[in-house]
Structure formats: structure tokens, C-alpha cells
Amino acid sequence: MSKKLTILLSTIIVGSMLTMSLSNNVKLDTANAAEGEDKNVIMLMADGMSQEAITLARYYKDAQDGKYGNDTLAMDEIASGATHTAWANGPVTDSAPGGTAYATGNKTNDKYVATSTEDKPLATILEGAKLEGKGTGIVMTCEVPHATPADFTAHTNTRSDYKSILSQQISNDLDVVLGGGIGWKHQYGIENDEEFSNLIDEVKGTIKEEGYDLVETNKDMEKSNSNKLWGMFSDADLDYDFDRQADKTSTQPSVSEMTSKAIDVLNKNEKGFFLMVEGSKIDWAAHANNPVGMISDILAFDEAVKEAVEFAKKDGNTVVVVTTDHGNSGITIGTDAEGFSYSQALFEDTVELFSKAKITEETFKSLISGKTDADIVSLAKEYYGIDLTSEELQNIKENNNNINKVLSLRGKIGFTTGGHTGEDVYLGVYAPTTSKKLTGVVDNTEVNKYMQNMIFNEEKLESLTKELFNNIEDLDKSADTKLEKSEDDSAVVLVNEKTGKTLKLYTNTNKYELDGKVSELTTVMPLIKEKLYVSQEVAQLISTIEKVDNSGATNEESTNGGTINSGTSNEESINSVSTNNEITLNKKPSTITKTGALGAGLLTVGGAGLATVGGALLLRKKKDEEKGMEE
């Protein structure tokens, strides 16, 4: 069998007014920030979590022992204010611009991921932490390329561009990634199940080649001692937590278990870490007007908050920030349904009704598939504690999703929409000292600035954006240096006609090829609207191919400006580049082997050398007759 295995590459007036007006409401004392004791930041995002949904989840927890008022959430202890969630042009945000505000400190357009309204990449707080030498990680219960995890790890103006997002995520050198898989086949232009399965295997191989310990079960996650951990616990999203618990054969970890493991791995870094944790499917349940799903995953998320806060209290150097990107569904406890009255809306007829729920609609509809009426009635009693009426039974038989409507009507739960909403949302902060606790009603961009001050002791992402993301067409180049793009946008090639040297930059990765040798840059190179954005490292590489070599040395030897070192092997790194902004990029050693396969799993090309597999653009290894290497 040929060794030409392939791997994934990419083709693969309200907002601004809020930012200005809300800054005066931010209560933040950073007098001690220069001391720099807060080396860690853990941000937990409950996607789509409205305040009323938190209340419903609290009632569920409180009712388990039959007494009301004696149980609270971990979020209750650290509640500190509320967050405005508007995007650049309106009050109701999509997750992509919502998360971008938290990740970058900027408002942006609908569907944009860590990208400005001008279609330029924005440096994220995770990328900034990585360049500081800190550990970085993300935890989620959805697929990895979904909007919120993408906001911290990738850059695109189209959140559905999973190919580009995943390519950047794999190349962005995170220490920990724990959650779901890569998504669904249609998101990669694939129709055939076998073809998509092959792509998943390719991605897994690439992740391993990046140096990750790839784990796929909760037990393997716990056993891992690796400093670089990737957990892929499903092909797409993880189960709702109630369903995970009900399935005694499940090998998926809970979000709190993933959070705990991520903290354990990242805390090995003496310089500190940044961790983003998302309770992803609260939003999905809200879209479906699924109250049990919302309760399930809010409580699971709250356990993750508990893990983070307990660590922070013991550590003494960690700030925990908890919020959400937007509300969803307009959920209310109380409806305008006929016959509803305050005096008759008793605990046992409303919120207490949900306390017996053990599974969500997703599992229930699979259980009742093909079952008799008696079976359905029995299952509803077993898993929800209710006796179905004949009318309710008929509704469920007509549409097995209707169990949500049955429970909501019984429990007096109302919904205004199946989409996002624009209300202010929960904000909770734990900080080692009260002077560093963010309080009051704040804008989502202010939350990012608070985290920057805590982890960097300054707001530095604006200057870092200028350092990391420059349109390659705007970089200084001699007249002899020509820029060419591949037809499929997988690479940009710069050729200096005078020296004969070539620099190939692989889009949506951190990989470049200089005269036949492939190495890694410090950060990824996003391709947005056919424009490639690169760091100042690339400017140094351009100067290398433009340098006329009069000494007789080979093209493989470098200048002192930050390119491949003279006489070194491909395993050795390029030098760090110091810029006018005095930001030194901490370059990790390259793990490229002379077979042409990168530690990141990217394979070099010969000529065009590109293959399209199932709609996903893949990059192939050079033929050995082209590169003089064994296939």
C-alpha cells in the first residue's frame, strides 16, 4: 500500500454604543495587577444559558431532597453581575460574534469567528497566553470546530467553514483539547459515510502526529500522563449529561471531569495557563425548547464551575470567569396558558414536576421507537414520573419530540422563540482578592479586557493582532519576489526570480516550506476572503529568499533574521523573531522528519501535488523521485 496518506487542510449603532457607554459601569480595581500573582485564567461559557433556565435548574437540584431553599449552585457563590451580549450591529447575537467578544475584546459581524468587521483576524486571549509561554486548552461538549471553541482558536468570517477552522485548531499548538469530534459529513462536503469515516481516521492520525495523546474514553483520559492531550469522545457532539448518566455503557466523560483533567495537565506549566470551558448543549436544548435538556446541562456545567473554583481557591493564583454568549428561547417559569393562575401554580405542579426527569427527549424518543401505547406510557412514568393522558400519548405518537411540549405544558414553562434572545446574562467571577473581582453590569468586550489584565497585567491583544496578522500582500517585498496562489487556495508561494529561492506558505496552518524543507511558524496563517494573514516571522522569511548568496553557501543556510539555521536538521527550530513592538515569539522546536511528514501531520507537496478527497482539500507527500526521499 502506498504511503501517500493524506491529511486535512483547509479550502478544507448598538454594538459600538454599548462598548462606549458600558465602560463606565465596569467596577474593576487593578491596583495590584503589576504584582502578577494571577497567572491562570479559567473561563467557563454556558452557551445559550438564560437566567430563567438557571432558576429552573436550581429548583431541580433543590427538589431532590424534598426540601426547598437548602441547595444552591456553584454559580450562586460567585455571582457578580450581568453581561450585555450585543454584537456589532444588533442586540441578539449569534455564538460566533458572541464568543469573539470574549476571546478578542472586539465586537464583530454575524457568523464571524475571531475576525474583525473588516475581515481581518483578531488575536485571541488564548493565542496571547500561548505566546507568553503559558499552557492553553479548550473543553467543550459539542464538536471541536463549533463556534465558541473556534472563537478562541481559529479565524474565519464563516463559522460553518469547519475545514479551515479544524485545520487552524490542529496547527495552533494547544496543550489540551477535550470534547466531541469533528462534526458531520455535510460540513466537509462529503456524502458517503465510509468516506467520512476515512476522513475522521485521517484527522486522528494527524492529531497523533502533532504529538498529542489521543484518547477516546473517559478511562483513557484519566490514565493519560501526557502534557499534550486531545480527547475525542464522539464523532460529533457529546450526549446530554442526563443521557450520559442513564447510559451505563457510556465512555464519555462529564464536562466537570474534562475540566478537572484539563486543569491537571495545564497546571504543570509553571508560567500558568488559560483554559476555556464551554457547556455547549445548553444552547441546543434551548433551541429545541427542551427544558429537561437545559436542566441537565446547566447542572453539569455547574459542576465544572465547582471544579474550577475549588482549584482556584487552593491555588491562590487563578481567576475564574463564568458567563454565557447570549440567552436563548425566552424561557419563562409561568405562561399565559388557559387556566394558569399564581395561586394554582404550586411547586408540585410546576418546577417540582421536572425533578423526576432522568433522561432528555433525545434518549426518550429512541426508547419509544416502535413501542406499543402501553410501553410508551410505562416509559414516561419510569423516566419522567408522569402518567400520560390519552391526548398526551397521541401527541407523542404523532411526534416523539412532543415529550418536550407535554412536560412544558404540565410544568407551566413558556417559550417565546426557538432562537437566541438579547437579554443581559449571568456573570460570575472568582478572584484571589476582592479588589480584582469584576462586578456590575458590563459589556462582553469588557470581560475580555478584565481577563487580559489578570493574565497579562495589561491589555495587549490589539498590539498582538498587528504583530501576528498582516496581509501578506502588504509586506515589503523586492520587485524580484513574485507572489502566486494555488488554484485551490491551499498555499501561497513566493518566488524570488533573482535568487531562485522559493517560500511556500500553507494556508490555515502554521506550516511553511523553504527550499524543500518544511517548518512551523509560531502561529497560524488564516485565509480570509482570499487574503492570507501572516506574522512578522514571514517578513523575515521573505528577506531570506531575497538574500543573494555570494558565499557559495546553499539555499538551506539562513540569515540571522529568524529562518532555518545553517547546517541544522529539519528537527531544529527557526530562531525567534523580535519585532519593533518588542514582542518576542516563543518558537517551539519543529518536529518535522525527513520523510516529509510533519509532527503536525501535514505532508509536503510536489508541484501542485494536491488531491481532493470527499470535498476536503488534502495535501500529499512529495513523490520520492521529486524529493529524493523514500515514500
- Asked whether residue 326 is marked as a ligand-binding residue, the answer is yes
On whether 247 is known to bind a ligand per the annotation, the reply is no
Which string of DSSP letters, residue by residue, matches 351-365?
GGGGGG--S-HHHHH
Task: Determine whether the annotation assigns residue 47 to a binding site.
Answer: yes
151 marked among binding-site residues: no
Q: Are 196 and 189 in contact (CB under 8 A)?
A: no
Half-sphere exposure of 191 (CA within 13 A, CB side): 0
- 584 three-state secondary structure: strand
Known catalytic membership, residue 164: no
3-state secondary structure 52-69: HHHHHHHHHHHHCCCCCC
- Evaluate whether 545 touches 502 at the Cβ level (below 8 Å): yes
Write phi, then psi, for 533 (nearest 5 degrees). -110, 130
- Residue of 95, 171, 254, 590 marked active site: 95
How far is 144 from 165, CA to CA, in rounded Å? 9
- Residue 244, CA distances (Å) to 250, 251, 262, 491 in order: 6, 9, 20, 42
Buried b (16+ CB within 10 A) or exposed e, 592-601: beebbbbbbb
| Residue 627 CA, distance from chain mean position | 37
Burial of 358 (0-12, 13-18, 19+ CB in 10 A): middle
Say if residue 420 carries a ligand binding annotation: yes
Q: Is 435 left (phi over 0), alpha (psi -120 to 50) or beta?
A: alpha
104's enclosing H/E stretch is helix 95-104
Can you tell me the distance from the alpha carbon of 345 to that of 358, in angstroms, rounded to the nearest whole number?
A: 23
From residue 606, alpha-carbon distances to 8, 202, 210, 509, 620 in Å are: 17, 20, 22, 18, 8
**Chain-centre distance of CA 90, in angstroms?**
23
Cell numbers linked to 271: 508560567
The total number of residues written for the chain in this structure:
631
User: From the DSSP assignment, how many helices (H) and strands (E) are in the chain?
Assistant: 21, 25
What 3-state class would DSSP assign to 557? coil
C-alpha cell at 65: 431532597
H or E stretch covering 391: helix 390-398
Residues forming the active site: 95
Instruction: List, as residue ranges, the binding site for Mg(2+).
Output: 47, 146, 148, 278
Instruction: List, as residue ranges, the binding site for Zn(2+).
Output: 47, 283, 287, 325-326, 420
Instruction: List, as residue ranges, the binding site.
Output: 47, 146, 148, 278, 283, 287, 325-326, 420
